[in-house]
Amino acid sequence: MAPPAQSQRSASPSQPSGKSEVSDLKSQLRQLAGSRAPGVDDSKRELFKKVISYMTIGIDVSSLFGEMVMCSAASDIVLKKMCYLYVGNYAKVNPDLALLTINFLQRDCKDEDPMIRGLALRSLCSLRVANLVEYLVGPLGSGLKDGNSYVRMIAVTGVLKLYYISASTCIDADFPSVLKHLLLNDPDTQVVANCISSLQEIWTLEATTSEEASRERETLLSKPIVYYLLNRIKEFSEWAQCLVLELVAKYIPSDSNDIFDIMNLLEDRLQHANGAVVLATTKVFLHLTLSMTDVHQQVYERIKAPLLTLVSSGSPEQSYAVLSHLHLLVMRAPYIFSNDYKHFYCQYNEPTYVKKLKLDMLTAVANESNTYEIVTELCEYAANVDIPIARESIRAVGKIALQQYDVNAIVDRLLQFLEMEKDYVTAEALVLVKDLLRKYPQWSHDCIAVVGNISSKNIQEPKAKAALIWMLGEYSQDMQDAPYVLEGLIENWDEEHSAEVRLHLLTAVMKCFFKRSPETQKALGAALAAGLADFHQDVHDRAVFYYRLLQHNITVAERVVNPPKQAVSVFADTQSSEIKDRIFDEFNSLSVVYQKPSYMFTDREHRGLFEVSDELGNLSIGTELTDTGVPGHSVVANDKDLLLSTSEKEETRAPSNNDTFSAPAYDSSLISIAASQGQSDLMSSSITGSVTATSSFAIDDLLGLSITAVSEPAPTPPPPSLKLNPKASLDPSTFQQKWRQLPISISQEYSLSSEGVRALTTPQTLPRHMQNSSIHCIASGGQSPNLKFFFYAQKAEESSTFLVECLINTSSSKAQIKIKADDQTASQQFSSLFQTALSNFGSQTRG
> Three-state SS for 623?
strand
What's the confidence (pLDDT) of residue 617?
Answer: 40
In degrees and rounded to multiples of 5, residue 486 shows phi and psi of -65, -40
What's the confidence (pLDDT) of residue 505?
Answer: 93
pLDDT in tens, 408-447: 778 888 888 887 878 888 888 888 888 888 888 888 788 8
In three state form, how does the secondary structure of 672-724 look? Answer: CCCCCHHHHHHHHCCCCCCCCHHHCHHHHHHHCEECCCCCCCCCCCCCCCCCE
Distance CA 642, CA 110 (A): 52
Percent helix, strand, coil in the chain, to 5, is 65, 5, 30
Q: What DSSP line would sit under 469-532, residue for residue?
A: HHHHHHTTTT-TTHHHHHHHHHHTGGG---HHHHHHHHHHHHHHHHHSHHHHHHHHHHHHHHHH
Look at residues 89, 46, 94, 86 and name the one whose alpha carbon lies nearest to residue 68. 86
pLDDT in tens, 191-221: 999 999 999 999 988 888 888 888 888 888 8
What's the confidence (pLDDT) of residue 671?
Answer: 31
586: number of Cβ within 10 Å: 16
Residue 499 near residue 539, CB atoms below 8 Å:
yes
Distance CA 554, CA 561 (A): 10
Q: What residues in the chain have per-residue pLDDT under 70?
A: 1-19, 73-74, 405-406, 572-575, 603-720, 844-847
Distance CA 752, CA 733 (A): 30
Look at residues 453, 34, 32 and name the one whose alpha carbon lies nearest to residue 48. 32
Pairing mode, strands 631-635 and 776-783: parallel
Collect all residues with Cβ–Cβ distance below 8 Å to 181 and sequence separation of at least 6.
none
pLDDT in tens, 240-278: 999 999 999 999 998 889 999 999 999 999 999 889 999
Q: How many residues does the chain have?
A: 847
> Three-state SS for 398?
helix
What's the confidence (pLDDT) of residue 236?
Answer: 93
pLDDT in tens, 630-684: 344 433 333 333 222 333 333 333 333 333 344 444 443 333 332 333 333 333 3
pTM value is: 0.65
Q: Which residues pair with 358 in a beta bridge?
A: none
Distance CA 725, CA 795 (A): 6
Cα-Cα-Cα-Cα dihedral sign, residues 364, 368, 369, 374: positive
Residue 479 near residue 452, CB atoms below 8 Å:
yes
What's the confidence (pLDDT) of residue 285?
Answer: 94
**CA distances, 175 to each of 109, 152, 160, 171, 202 (Å):** 18, 13, 9, 6, 10
Distance CA 445, CA 435 (A): 15
Look at residues 124, 38, 37, 34 and name the one whose alpha carbon lies nearest to residue 80. 124
∠ CA 196-201-207 to the nearest 5 degrees? Answer: 120
Query: Which residue type sits at 308?
Result: L
